[in-house]
Amino acid sequence: MRRRDFIKVIAGSATWPLAARAQQTSKLPIIGFLGANTASTQSQWTAGFVQRLRELGWIEGHTIAIEYRWAEGQFQRSPEMIAGLIQLKVDVIVTHGTANVLAAKQATSVIPIVFASAGDPVGDGLVASLARPGGNITGLSVEGPDVAAKRLELLREVVPGLQRVAILANVNNPITLLQVREAQAAARTLGLELNTLEIRRAEDIEPAIESLKTGVAALYLPLDPLLTTNQIRTNTLALGARLATMAPARDYVNSDALMSYGANITNAWRRAADFVDKILRGAKPADIPVEQPNKFDLAINLTTARVLGLTIPDKLLAIADEVIE
């Protein structure tokens, strides 16, 4: 073979796989992913989702494509972002947070929708029932019964003589309002006074915390994307105000909250990948029951406790899933 012909053969063999891969990529199933927070804030959750997909054989860029969008806690943007994903002809939409899921539901009754977390899927009209979702939506609920009572009980065990607690409530989020009602009922049962601090945007967090009167010793944070996106600032302000913070997820404790008690959100995202796997293999969302959390994690930040002058009881340290020194 002449050298010139040999070079042509080598060049052809090098470019053919690239062309084949480019053609293959255009046919990959597409996941439309709408995060309620910023990419950095929920990076651990997203990583858990992508890793579980990989374990199931869906490798991003090879056997699956993922189109990411981020609401950054500004849910007025969600309908536009969902519309953009629909225009891309995605095969399934994955999102979380009631506002995002409702936006997806209103936009399409055809494309399957998986929610990685929602507070009250039935009450908010996302699904007909947990066992038989119906329609094109299914996913995971991350709030369980009596969670509010457990969080307040934990605060009372850690904060001596606790009488007054403040709850930071994003009144634009319907699931937050439900969590507030549950916390209020639990507080009455426990003989605690619960002060509600209403917020609607990130700029409201600082003045809300600064408005607290003396006597409030703890801050209760509902599970809400606005607070998750701004968790570092919220925890810093709470610490400056000498407030013992009870958070809904262990990520907050890594950002200096005192404690968290709630479903493992990263695990919920991994389970959401299982839902996507079933749908891409032919299952219908209507036939996949909504799952509820079966394990709740307790995380404690001892550094924050020392700053607040609090001593964590040994019995809590013994049952904690994570203790940060």
List the one residue out of 184, 206, 179 whose CA is nearest residue 195: 184
Residue-wise DSSP of 212-276:
PPTTEEEEE--S-HHHHHTHHHHHHHHHHTT-EEEESSHHHHHTT-SEEEEE-HHHHHHHHHHHH
For 219, half-sphere exposure in the C-beta direction (CA atoms, 13 angstrom radius) is 33
H or E segment to which residue 245 belongs? strand 244-247
Burial 10-40 (b: 16+ CB within 10 A, else e): eeeeeeeeeeeeeeeeeebebbbbbbbbbee
| Radius of gyration for the chain, computed over Cα atoms and rounded to the nearest angstrom | 23
Q: How confident is the model at residue 125 (pLDDT cuts 50, 70, 90)?
A: confident
Question: What is the pTM for the complete model shown?
Answer: 0.80
Question: Alpha-carbon distance 180 to 268, whole Å?
Answer: 23
Tens of pLDDT, residue by residue over 153-208, are 999 999 999 999 999 999 988 788 888 999 999 999 999 999 999 999 999 999 99
Q: Average pLDDT, whole number, for the chain?
A: 89
Residues 142, 138: Cα–Cα separation, whole Å? 13
Domains and CATH numbers, the chain: 3-143+265-287 (3.40.50.2300), 147-263+296-324 (3.40.50.2300)
Residue 145: pLDDT band by 50, 70, 90 thresholds?
low
Which percentage of the chain shows pLDDT scores above 70?
91
Q: How far is CA 315 from the centre of its chain?
A: 29
What does the block give as tokens for 95?
Answer: 């999102």
Task: Using alpha carbons, select from 73, 243, 72, 47 the residue that is nearest to residue 158.
Answer: 243
Phi, psi of 290 (to 5 degrees): -70, 135
Which pLDDT score is estimated for 11? 39
pLDDT at residue 26, as a whole number: 54
Which pLDDT score, from 0 to 100, does residue 144 have? 65
